[in-house]
Structure 1
Amino acid sequence: MSAQPLIELIGVTKTYGQGATALQALKGVDLTIEAGDFVAIMGPSGSGKSTAMNTLGCLDTPTTGQYIFNGVHVETLTRDQRALLRRHYLGFVFQGFNLLARTTAQENVELPLLYRGEPTKTRHAAAKKALASVGLAGWEHHTPAELSGGQQQRVAIARAIVTEPTVLLADEPTGNLDTHRSREIMELLWGLNVDHGITVLMVTHEADMAAYAKRIVHFVDGVVDSDTRNPNPAGLAQHATDKAAEVSDVA
């Protein structure tokens, strides 16, 4: 018998408003995501991809249907219970970096742990480790104004993974970056997925960024129009090259 999927959406609908003004954003979505997958979610404006991402992130609830996360029926949870699920299992990265302007990179990364009530020493150590894992060792005391766009997004990713989430949800994570920085961020997400086992769900409208994913799901008119495996993710060759270089450096 196969293991239970990490995430299942079964017949999920989402309707905003009532009566003649009602808008059905999702019209019966079925989607299964295995632990350790890297899924790019694509689709035109109004296709339902953002609503699906909000549902997966427990930021919104289905009108009908089931959302099962690691065996738990999320649609039956209270607001507080969904908040706990987000806090302990999910990390979020957005197109806008959403960093606090007057605080350092370290302080920004520590925020989720502060909300958890973790002691100062634990917060400091975890934030430093998270920043190092995204290539920002030595940048802990710089404010966002002292960082490039790519570095700010790395801080945002460090903040998302400092709690060691099961799933990382990234909404247009390269939307504000140039091509070179976008590739850096995608290679970073690939490494978090492959080396750390974090399941990555990413909304993007850029085909060259979606090419890094192991799987590409297209939404059209509130339903999943296609769901295909990517046999040759863009991050695969670069990651292998980077790993070979690391081994060579050690040798």
Structure 2
Amino acid sequence: MSEAPLIQLEGITKTFGTGPAAFQALKGVDLSIERGDFVAIMGPSGSGKSTTMNILGCLDTPTSGIFRFRNVEVQSLSRDQRSLLRRRYLGFVFQGFNLLARTTALENVELPLLYRGESKKARREAAERSLDKVGLLPWAGHTPAELSGGQQQRVAIARALVSDPDVLLADEPTGNLDTERSIEIMELLRELSRSGITVLMVTHEEEMAEFARTIVHFRDGLVQRVVEGKRREVAG
């Protein structure tokens, strides 16, 4: 018997507000995501892609429908249980990097483990491994101001990876980068998906979406279509 998808959305709706002012952001989203997939989520403003990502990241709950993660129905969990799931299984990467300016790359990457109460030795070793995964261990002692935009985003990805998440959620991860740096980040995300991490990325850039294995197009609160990415490979 084949393994169940890592993530399943069935009939997901999300309504904001009540009465005449109510707005239905999602109108019955069905989506399955396999373990280790690299998924680009695209769509115009107001299409429902960000609302869906918030639900997938356990930052919000659906109004109706079923959200399964590792065969657990997430919509039935308590707020504390969803928070535990988020901390244990999910990592987040943002367009703005969100690094602390006066701390080193290593210290920035250590932060999630500091909040979890890990020992100093364990934090340092895990942060060094994570920086090594993104090719930035030699820059561990540098502050964000001493790093390029692409390097800062790599630090942010290392921070998201330090707790060994099953899923990496990236919101416009190349939005603040030039084309060359953007391609570097896309190649890194593709490599992470090949290692078994499931990567979910919101992007408005077609060129960046082509790096994904699966592209999900949203429109008017629904999945409009799902297509295969072009799986771009760099000759070398």
> What is the TM-score when the length of structure 2 is the normalising length?
0.98
Q: Could you tell me which residue of structure 2 aligns to residue 34 of structure 1?
A: 34
Q: 2:184 & 2:219 partners in 1: Cα distance?
A: 29
Q: Which amino acid aligns with 1:114?
A: L
Q: Could you tell me which residue of structure 1 aligns to residue 221 of structure 2?
A: 222
Q: Could you tell me which residue of structure 2 aligns to residue 206 of structure 1?
A: 205
Structure 1 residue 73, shift from structure 2 partner:
0.5
Q: Which stretches in structure 1 are left out of the alignment for 5+ residues?
A: 242-251
Structure 1 residue 109, shift from structure 2 partner:
0.3
Q: 1:11 & 1:81 partners in 2: Cα distance?
A: 22
Structure 1 residue 83, shift from structure 2 partner:
0.7
Cα displacement string for residues 189-235 of structure 1 (whole angstroms, at most 9, x for unaligned residues): 011111x21000000000000000001000000000001123x311x
Cα displacement string for residues 150-190 of structure 1 (whole angstroms, at most 9, x for unaligned residues): 11100000000011110000000000000000000000101
Structure 1 residue 135, shift from structure 2 partner:
1.1
Question: Does 2:156 align with 1:165?
Answer: no
Structure 1 residue 116, shift from structure 2 partner:
1.3
Question: Does 2:127 align with 1:127?
Answer: yes
More helix by share: 1
Q: Which stretches in structure 2 are left out of the alignment for 5+ residues?
A: none
Alignment of 1:99-114 (within 5 A): 99-114=99-114
Cα displacement string for residues 17-64 of structure 1 (whole angstroms, at most 9, x for unaligned residues): 111111111000000001011110000000000000000000000000
Structure 1 residue 142, shift from structure 2 partner:
0.9
Secondary structure, aligned partner of 1:156? helix
Structure 1 residue 3, shift from structure 2 partner:
1.2
Structure 1 residue 11, shift from structure 2 partner:
0.3
Q: 1:163 & 1:17 partners in 2: Cα distance?
A: 35
Cα displacement string for residues 118-144 of structure 1 (whole angstroms, at most 9, x for unaligned residues): 111010011011111111121111111
Q: Could you tell me which residue of structure 2 aligns to residue 67 of structure 1?
A: 67
Q: Could you tell me which residue of structure 2 aligns to residue 233 of structure 1?
A: 231
Q: Which amino acid aligns with 1:197?
A: G
Q: 1:51 & 1:79 partners in 2: Cα distance?
A: 18
Secondary structure, aligned partner of 1:84? helix
Deviates more, 1:142-151 or 1:48-57: 142-151
Q: Could you tell me which residue of structure 2 aligns to residue 25 of structure 1?
A: 25
Question: Does 2:71 align with 1:86?
Answer: no
Structure 1 residue 14, shift from structure 2 partner:
0.5
Deviation >2 Å, runs of 4+? none
Structure 1 residue 101, shift from structure 2 partner:
1.0
Q: Could you tell me which residue of structure 2 aligns to residue 141 of structure 1?
A: 141
Q: Which amino acid aligns with 1:225?
A: Q
Secondary structure, aligned partner of 1:138? helix
Q: 1:150 & 1:216 partners in 2: Cα distance?
A: 23
Q: Which amino acid aligns with 1:233?
A: R
Secondary structure, aligned partner of 2:91? strand
> What is the TM-score when the length of structure 1 is the normalising length?
0.92
